[in-house]
Amino acid sequence: MTAAIIDGKAFAAGLRERVAQRVTRFAEQAGRAPGLAVVLVGDDPASAVYVRSKGKATKAAGMGGIEHRLPADVPQQALLDLVDALNADPAIDGILVQLPLPGHIDEQAVTTRIDPDKDVDGFHPVNAGRLAVGLPGFVPCTPLGCLMLLKDQLGDLSGLEAVVIGRSNIVGKPMAQLLIAESCTVTVAHSRTRDLPSVVQRADIVVAAVGRPQMVKAAWLKPGATVIDVGINRTPEGLVGDVDFAGALDVAGAVTPVPGGVGPMTIAVLLRNTLISAERRENIVGEGAL
């Protein structure tokens, strides 16, 4: 048996195209483009690469992208002051402060300073709360991108057994909330889980977000399972996910590759969230499905 390879890169390109269509209509009605501010502190090369690709995608979608670079030793107060200024700027619809931040800066303090209605990352506790209770808000880009791929692959998810490996605020917890809302039976596994192989064995859906290269073994999977690999691990052998991809191809029903799976979805959903923020802020009803 050979699993289907879920083409996240192609799905993301389609989503970006649909976003760009709606951006055109937004700009006609609002007299301006949606604006996304990306803040990068320090000069970590991997972060700089992500920020650059976000900037390119933003412009390709017809949006305004404003990049703010601050030195690695910037005082926390200066970063908070910048966030305050972006919160108050009517041309800015979305604010993203690239994580991780240097050790002297309290990430929670920064994330919580962003206006929840410009928080296109969905990291603010108000947005986490909105997701938990089913109110409209911003959903973190990576788990929302995973959900889009799952629904595209499987249709209705109701009643399926889903296992999320990882309990981060950025991926694991919001992923679990989204799957609960789709009426899956959800298990969240983590580093203290006893007998992870047997937990994964019952899953129709596996979302792996642990950050450990090829940690999820093919032998753990239920035959036909749909496997979403959120891991992006840089190894001497190149970029690899959290799942043994080659092995999974023989057992799974469908699996996302790394690269070309979840990663491109993260950026496409960021553009979607920024467009939705702009439409809400200008009271414009978007037309055309996303």
Ligand X SMILES: Nc1nc(=O)c2c([nH]1)NC[C@@H]1CN(c3ccc(C(=O)N[C@@H](CCC(=O)O)C(=O)O)cc3)C=[N+]21
Cite the annotated binding site for NADP(+) by residue number.
166-168, 232
**What token pair was written down for 50?**
């992500």
Each residue 44-83 as x (binds ligand X by CB under 6 A) or -, in order, gives: ------x---------------------------------
From candidates 65, 172, 231, 263, binder to ligand X by CB under 6 A: 263
Task: Tell me whether residue 71 or residue 100 sits nearer to Mg ion (CB atom).
Answer: 100
Our answer to whether residue 54 is catalytic in this structure is yes
Amino acid at 267: I
Task: Tell me whether residue 9 or residue 280 sits nearer to ligand X (CB atom).
Answer: 9
Asked if 267 interacts with ligand X (CB under 6 A), we say yes
Where are any strands of DSSP class E within 107-167? 161-165
The entry of Mg ion, ligand X, none near residue 267 (CB within 5 to 8 angstroms by kind) is ligand X
Catalytic residue among 93, 98, 118, 173: 98
Instruction: Show Cβ contacts of residue 226 under 8 Å, excluding neighbours closer than 6 positions.
Output: 6, 150, 153, 154, 204, 205, 206, 252, 253, 254, 255
Say if CB 102 and CB 70 are below 8 A apart.
no
Q: Residue 160 is inside which H or E element, if any?
A: none
Asked if 119 interacts with ligand X (CB under 6 A), we say no
**Least distance from C-beta 9 to ligand X, angstroms?**
6
Catalytic residue among 54, 118, 173, 222: 54
Asked if 260 interacts with ligand X (CB under 6 A), we say yes
Say if CB 41 and CB 98 are below 8 A apart.
yes
C-alpha span between 257 and 245 (Å, rounded) = 7
Closest residue to ligand X, based on beta-carbon distance: 263
3-state secondary structure of 67: strand
Site residue total, ligand X (CB under 6 A): 16
Contact stretch for ligand X (CB under 6 A) within 61-69, 127-135, 150-158, 258-266: 258-266
Q: Name the β-bridge partners of 41.
A: 70
